[in-house]
Amino acid sequence: MEEIRHEIEEENIRTRSNVTEEEEEVLEYEEEDIEEGAKKCNHSLVGKLVTDKNINPTWVQTAMFNIWRRPEGFKMVEIKPKLFQFFFHKEIDMRRVLKGNPWMFRNSWLLIKKWERRVNPSETDFSRTEIKLQIWNMPEHCKTTTLGRKIAARVGEVMECNVFSAGPGKGNFLKASVMIRIEDPLKEGLNMGSKRDGLTKVEFKYERLPTFCYFCGRIGHDVANCEIAEAEEEHTSSSKKGLGA
């Protein structure tokens, strides 16, 4: 009986060993095996929706197909919730969409990046995006691109800065293209000045801004769904307990 039990244990060990060896075996494929798939993906973009809401992927595909002017052969695949891969037949359509990044879907940003073969789409870095920042309430003699770059650098990495006209009789303002971190709170402005001029409160305006929270300043949710605002409200309520007559 003991010998039979020993034989069974040895067989189990051999079986587990064989399974492990099979799992560790690597099947190497050639470029010709994936040529069709790689060619298709080379004309694709990866996109992420920055929102706390649940989104039906069919809505995204239908909306972006129309917003992107109905590109030929357009197709979308959902990789996981709020993460998609968009396919195009023509490279010119793909590049046009990429140039317009970030896009808007139902008041939420759809961030777009070129598909990279060696990067798993689920691991694509969407932590930053480029936005347009307007700088207002500056004295006329301070409206220079040199100072504009210094101010915009407090918001993010400055890509470009120029002086724009607000219209006849309305003066000029500064506009900068800035690379921001999505998770950072948006700044309302800053104080600037010199010993000679004193202090001035500069105001920021962001173009094509999606849903964001007026309480914490972050993109992707509104104040009604802000965890920080909720925690602050609970703290305020609890601190006022016992103050009534």
Which superfamily, per CATH, for 36-118?
RRM (RNA recognition motif) domain (3.30.70.330)
What's residue 193's pLDDT? 96
Cα dihedral value 146, 149, 150, 151, nearest 10 = 120
Residue type, 135: I
Both tokens of 3, joined, read: 């010998």
In angstroms, the Cα distances linking 70 to 28, 170, 172 are: 39, 39, 38
Both tokens of 149, joined, read: 């770059």
Domain ranges of the chain: 36-118, 128-229
Residue type, 169: G
In angstroms, the Cα distances linking 98 to 47, 111, 237 are: 10, 9, 47
Q: 179-189, pLDDT tens digit by residue?
A: 999 999 999 99
Domains 36-118 and 128-229 fall in the same CATH topology: yes
Architecture field, domain 128-229: 2-Layer Sandwich (3.30)
Q: 6-25, pLDDT tens digit by residue?
A: 555 665 555 555 556 667 89
What's residue 32's pLDDT? 94
Written as tens digits, the pLDDT of the chain (245 aa) is 555 555 556 655 555 555 566 678 999 999 999 999 999 999 999 999 999 999 999 999 999 999 999 999 999 999 999 999 999 999 999 999 999 999 999 999 999 999 999 999 999 999 999 999 999 999 999 999 999 999 999 999 999 999 998 888 788 999 999 999 999 999 999 999 999 999 999 999 999 999 999 999 999 999 999 988 888 765 454 433 433 33
Q: Let me know: does 161 contact 173? Beta carbons within 8 Å.
A: no
